[in-house]
Structure 1
Amino acid sequence: MLRTIEMYTNEYKDTTKKEIRKKKGQFFTPAEVSMRMAAVENKYPKNQLIRVLDPGAGNGILSFAVIDKLLRSGYKWLDITLIETDTEILPVLEYTITKIRQICESYHAECTIHYIDQNFVLWESSRLYDIVICNPPYMKVRKDSIEATAMKAYVYGQPNLYGLFMAKAVELLRDNGQYIFITPRSWTSGKYFTKVRSFLQKELNIKEIDLFSSRDEVFQGEKVLQETMILYGEKGQIQDEQIKINILKDGTLDTGNSFWAAADQIKFKGSEQYLLLPENENDLKIIDIMSDMTDSFESSGYHFKTGPVVEFRNLDHIHKIYQTGDIPMYRSIHIQNGTLQFPADTQKAQYVSTDEESLLIPKQNTILVRRLSTKEDLKRIQACKYFADENTDLNTEFMTVENHVNYLTRKDGMEMTRNEIDQLFDILMSDMYERYIRLINGSTQINAGELNKLPLQRIERSINS
């Protein structure tokens, strides 16, 4: 039956442009993933009413999967609430609801189905649920949107709907209720999910995590840039001592590797409360090494900043061809294989006029780090060294950096020495740091804030003189 639901969903996808579905934050759960997510624990008495909530129902495939699992496990008294506002997917959802009724009848089970056509974030429920299972919409909303306003306790910066769904779902669970969510990994470390993580730290007992070994494994053909995870938990303020990590193989949903990690080793670590996502025992060793470092780049007096030049806001100041008095603007294309290559063979702007002071950066030694890497890049950290005395072609006292590049400074304003740059660069480009950044960041983007929080063994002051 899941295959049939998937077939009708594919017909909907064929008649709906990918851009429209992406604008809705709509990525449908495949049948195999739905079955895995629906493997809920059989911990309730068989004569108990089980209430299930699917707050991002979409085509209803998760609802069918979990009801099917409960029926096969002997439960006869079920109540399920499906919430969906997209009228274009409604025909598929209605078909799924009909099939849920039919399968309940075949098991001689009493099943009450509630379809809610309301915004889940704004929806008010008088009930609490035993199970929440969800593939939420993945889309950013404005800080002054009705959703962000309604969930302001969980908003930090620009919110994403899926983070708000995660928080509200916990609110609607009974104590010890089961929590199953498939999401991008960005919430585990992203700055804008800080308050969501803080809430989950207090209210969710994480039991198990599924990690996919390929970024394209789950939503095939959708060009998803972020790695995906499934989170299994229970509502409760007492965390189990260990969390099970499952690494799912390419091409299948078979567990390629499973191991246990101590909860206090990976759950919401450091001042940013990151959830670390190791993929093997060696990753746990790296986490231990990094956790033993008491300093970070930031606490050691360094500060990564994001380049000040946002192109569309500065069209009057940027140039593709050098004009008298211009300064160089370093962008991602100039960072190639650990070296700075300027100018580049590109049709994009590489020069900036000096008439806008806010764009000017004093010409000093630094490290440039791309904010975005590509799927094809072997290393997530793409960086290069910049030495002021080696970049004298334009003979200026300033340079600047485009907004997709981070650059390193010292908080005290002093210029970093060559030796200092060499050591910091070697640290950043080491295999251990490359692996650690992947543990805390499942996307191809590295923000300045994440770089500043990276652990750092304090460098000897003698190299700073």
Structure 2
Amino acid sequence: MLETICQKTNEFIAQMPKSLRKEYGQFFTSAETACFMASLFDLSGLNKSVSILDAGAGSGILAISIAERILKQDSSIKVEVVCYENDPHVLPLLKSNLDLVKKKYKNFSFKVIEDNYIISQRDSFNGNLFAQECKKYDLVIGNPPYKKISKDAPEALAMPVVCHGAPNLYFLFASMGIFNLKENGQMVYITPRSWTSGAYFENFRKYLIGNTSLERIHLFESRTDVFDKESVLQETMIFKLKKQKKHPSKVVISTTNGNGDFSRISHFDAPYDTVVSPLTNYVYLPANKDNLEVLKKIGSFENTLPSLGMKMKTGLVVDFRVPELLESEKSESNVPLFYSRHIKEGRVSFPAGIEHEFVSNEKQSLLQKNRNYLFVKRFTSKEERRRLQSGIYLKRKFPGYQFISTQNKINFIDGEEELSECTVYGLYVLFNSTIYDSYYRILNGSTQVNSTEVNSMPIPNLLQIQEMGRMLIKSKDFSEKNCDEILQEACA
């Protein structure tokens, strides 16, 4: 039956323009992924009547996968599926697929709600996860729409308790899915992994962590393992949770090593408090036991940049917004403008002989004091070996300037008081070490280095950082291997 549904879904995808599906944030789940998600539910102790919710159901493959698994196990169980879907183009396919199931299993029933899943429940959703004003379900499964909306969109206004700025529909669907769960009910969702860290998703994480327990996390080594008919750039994950406030002692972490057929899965148990950090309110995604050791080591440090009077900030100049202020030749009325391409092998190399290396000094908001900084690239390519790439900037190497500027594709670490050269060199040791690069990859699956996340990273104390700086200055060896050795010796 799933083969038939997949064939019909693929025919739908082929005849529907991607631009039209993008309006709804549609990415269809493969049969292999749907079956795997259905397998994550614990079906022991099911009642004789089970309710299933699939919001943003698309072709219905997720709801059908778990419904068929239940009915194959015990055909006497009454299974009710409720699907939310308001895309008129896919509704005929959804209803046709659900009819196929109904013809096969007499105890299967379904209802398709052709309404906006979020807006239609806004009067019930008030932050009380256990309110009974709306229908509650035993099992919730979903591949929610992935689409950014404005902060004043009706869906965002309906769920202020989880929103921060302009939200994405996928985590609004996940929040409402939690709301729609019965107490002790189970939910399995496939989403981007971006929600697990950073300030943007903080309210959602608090909502999820405070009212559910994460039981399983599945990570994909390849983005193409998930949506085989789609071009998906986001790192994707599957998570399973239970609606209960008591947390388990462990979370099962698994990864797919193959081509999306789930025939080769590795898994291990991770301590719950290591994955779900009570200190940072982040959800860490270690892919193996080596990653757990990284989290344990970094977690032993008790300081952060802000606690030591420092902070990572984002570069000031968005160059395409101020083209009239950009200049290619040095003059008395401009200052150096540093780009990520100026960061080379741990140092800042300027000038690089490129266009627009200077910016007019007429706009004060684009200027920063010529002080000692650690520059860090904001973006790296997926193929690059290191995510954290930094360069030491020393003001004495750029005499004659009271101010400089930075393009917004780099970050810089500054202090409440100017950083000493030893401090900057010590910070370089941290950011150029293997363990901190590994830590950041566990923390964030994207290629962007986020200042909010860096500012939350545990780091050694200031004396240790300065000692590492002195050791680096003495050795004159900027290699990753040497930074690893210095970090190990200074923080033993």
Name the TM-score, length of structure 2 as normaliser.
0.86
Q: Which amino acid aligns with 2:204?
A: V
2:277 partner SS: coil
Q: Is the contact between residue 129 and residue 173 of structure 1 (CA under 8 Å) also seen in structure 2?
A: yes
Post-superposition shift, 1:249? 0.8
Q: Distance in 2 between matches of 1:163 and 1:231?
A: 13
Alignment of 1:68-83 (within 5 A): 68-75=68-75, 76-83=77-84
Q: Is the contact between residue 210 and residue 229 of structure 1 (CA under 8 Å) also seen in structure 2?
A: yes
Q: Distance in 1 between matches of 2:7 and 2:389?
A: 41
1:404 corresponds to 2:404: no
Specify the alignment match of 1:266 in structure 2.
Answer: 275
Q: 1:156 aligns with which of 158, 164, 168?
A: 164
| Cα distance per residue 1:383-418 (max 9 Å; x no partner) | 2222222345xx43221112222111002xx32222
2:290 partner SS: helix
1:376 corresponds to 2:383: yes
Post-superposition shift, 1:333? 3.2
Specify the alignment match of 2:53 in structure 1.
Answer: 53
Post-superposition shift, 1:255? 4.3
Specify the alignment match of 1:213 in structure 2.
Answer: 221
Q: Which amino acid aligns with 1:197?
A: R
Q: Distance in 1 between matches of 2:349 and 2:392?
A: 11
RMSD (Å) for aligned C-alpha atoms: 2.3
Alignment of 1:10-89 (within 5 A): 10-39=10-39, 40-45=41-46, 48-75=48-75, 76-89=77-90
Post-superposition shift, 1:335? 3.1
Change (3 A) 1:425 1:450: same
1:117 corresponds to 2:114: yes
Q: Distance in 1 between matches of 2:266 and 2:387?
A: 23
1:229 partner SS: strand
Q: Distance in 2 between matches of 1:110 and 1:431?
A: 56
Specify the alignment match of 2:424 in structure 1.
Answer: 421
Say how many residue pairs are matched: 454
Q: Which amino acid aligns with 2:402?
A: E
Alignment of 1:20-419 (within 5 A): 20-39=20-39, 40-45=41-46, 48-75=48-75, 76-104=77-105, 109-124=106-121, 126-220=134-228, 222-251=230-259, 252-270=261-279, 272-319=280-327, 325-344=333-352, 349-391=356-398, 395-411=400-416, 414-419=417-422
2:119 partner SS: coil
Q: Distance in 1 between matches of 2:119 and 2:45?
A: 30
1:285 partner SS: helix
Q: Is the contact between residue 51 and residue 138 of structure 2 (CA under 8 Å) also seen in structure 1?
A: yes
Any unmatched runs of 5+ in structure 2?
A: 122-132, 471-492
| Cα distance per residue 1:241-264 (max 9 Å; x no partner) | 111111111324134321111112
Change (3 A) 1:127 1:287: same
Q: Distance in 2 between matches of 1:19 and 1:320?
A: 40
1:374 partner SS: coil
- Among all aligned residue pairs of Structure 1 and Structure 2, give the percentage whose two residues are the same amino acid: 32
Q: Return 351-360 or 383-392, whichever deviates more.
A: 383-392
| Cα distance per residue 1:1-57 (max 9 Å; x no partner) | 3333333333333344444434532221111000000112212446x2110000120
| Cα distance per residue 1:176-223 (max 9 Å; x no partner) | 111100011111113111111111112112111111122332134644
1:415 partner SS: coil
Q: Distance in 2 between matches of 1:259 and 1:95?
A: 40
Post-superposition shift, 1:450? 0.7
Q: Is the contact between residue 68 and residue 103 of structure 1 (CA under 8 Å) also seen in structure 2?
A: no
Q: Return 113-122 or 309-318, whichever deviates more.
A: 309-318
Q: 1:439 aligns with which of 442, 449, 466?
A: 442
Change (3 A) 1:248 1:69: same
